[in-house]
Structure 1
Amino acid sequence: MQKRGKKTAAAGRNEKLEQKIFQALAAAPRRSILRHLAASSLTAGEIASHFTMAKPSISQHLAILEGAGLVSREKRGQFVHYALAQKVLEPCLAGFLQDVGIADRAPPAPPEDEKQAEPRAKGTARSASTERTAPTEPADMDAGNAEKPAPAQMSMF
């Protein structure tokens, strides 16, 4: 049996971490949770208010994200606040893009019809040919996020 060197062991740990990260990113609800946490830290209840799934399911998704190192948690009083761990996600994704060979490439040029389009003034409508639609939200997202009030939190003070 051969002994593994320090570099080989470190590479193995990095591969395992990358595998955990990509497994965590594979599920649409977890990617949605990360989108919400990109804006600010949230409690589990605040995260759950954005979804129609049960709270134990949200907790399970948070545990997977935390296990992959994508989310950190901090206890503040009786609440646990979750935050996006950008220092883990960014190097992993940048390393992946480099491994695939597209990190050093220039971004793709916009289609010809968008290059020639006049810059529009704020508040003017776009033509149908240049209109870009936002990616659709996962089915488990609540459609009325904007109208929902923030969940009330009890305070001991």
Structure 2
Amino acid sequence: MTHANARAVLPLDRYLGNCQNTEMDSVFKALSDPTRRQILKLLRASDLSAGDIAAHFDVSKPTISGHLSVLKEAGLVDMERHGNVLMYRLKLSVLEEAMIPFMEFFHRGAAPLKKKGKK
């Protein structure tokens, strides 16, 4: 780094410190796959059954089930059984919680971002 570009750069992992945990890791693992990101986009529009979700993809239902399991384990979706039908719903709060430390890192010098519902 040249003198002109020199400034105190705090490494992201050091800044996040205690924010790094298995919960956050599972969220980013879930988001790393394009199929899972597409499932989240679908669920953003409305709650869907596993079958309705699978209909949007050219992969087997067990593959979609695996993706849904990863999303559920990460806390990004909720699943509720309605008789024989499994309905999935997006949980944005978990994604928001994972993103706040990153947004604060990139907004250094600005006021800390506030969580919804907190003052």
> Would you call these one fold, judging by a TM-score over 0.5?
yes
Query: Which secondary structure does the structure 1 equivalent of 2:81 belong to?
Result: strand
Task: State the 1:91 CA deviation.
Answer: 1.8
Identity over aligned residues, as a percent?
39
- 2:5 counterpart of 1:22: no
Computed over aligned residues only, the root mean square deviation of the Cα atoms, in angstroms, reads: 1.9
Give unmatched runs, 5+ long, in structure 2: 1-17, 112-119
Larger radius of gyration: 1
Secondary structure at the counterpart of residue 21 of structure 2: helix
Gapped regions of structure 1 (runs ≥ 5): 1-10, 106-157
Counterpart Cα distance in 2 of 1:17 and 1:58: 22
Aligned match of 2:107: 102
Cα separation, 2, equivalents of 1:34 and 1:22: 13
CA deviation vs aligned residue, 1:9-38 (integer Å, no higher than 9, x gap): xx47x6211111001000000000000000
**Which residue of structure 1 lines up, in the alignment, with residue 40 of structure 2?**
34
How much has 1:93 moved relative to structure 2? Answer: 1.3
Tell me which residue corresponds to 2:65.
59
Q: 1:90 Cα shift?
A: 1.2
Letter in 2 for 1:28: P
SS in 2 for 1:31: helix
Aligned amino acid, residue 102 of structure 1: H
| DSSP-derived class of the 1:74 partner | strand
Q: Secondary structure at the match of 2:68?
A: helix
Q: Report which of the two has the higher share of helix.
A: 2
Q: Secondary structure at the match of 1:69?
A: coil
Post-superposition shift, 1:85? 0.8
2:78 corresponds to which of 72, 75, 78: 72
- Paired amino acid for 1:26: S
TM-score when normalising by structure 2 = 0.71
Question: Once the 2 structures are TM-superposed, how far is the Cα of residue 94 of structure 1 from its aligned partner?
Answer: 2.1
User: What number of residue pairs does the alignment pair up?
Assistant: 93
Q: Secondary structure at the match of 2:89?
A: strand
1:85 maps to 2:63? no
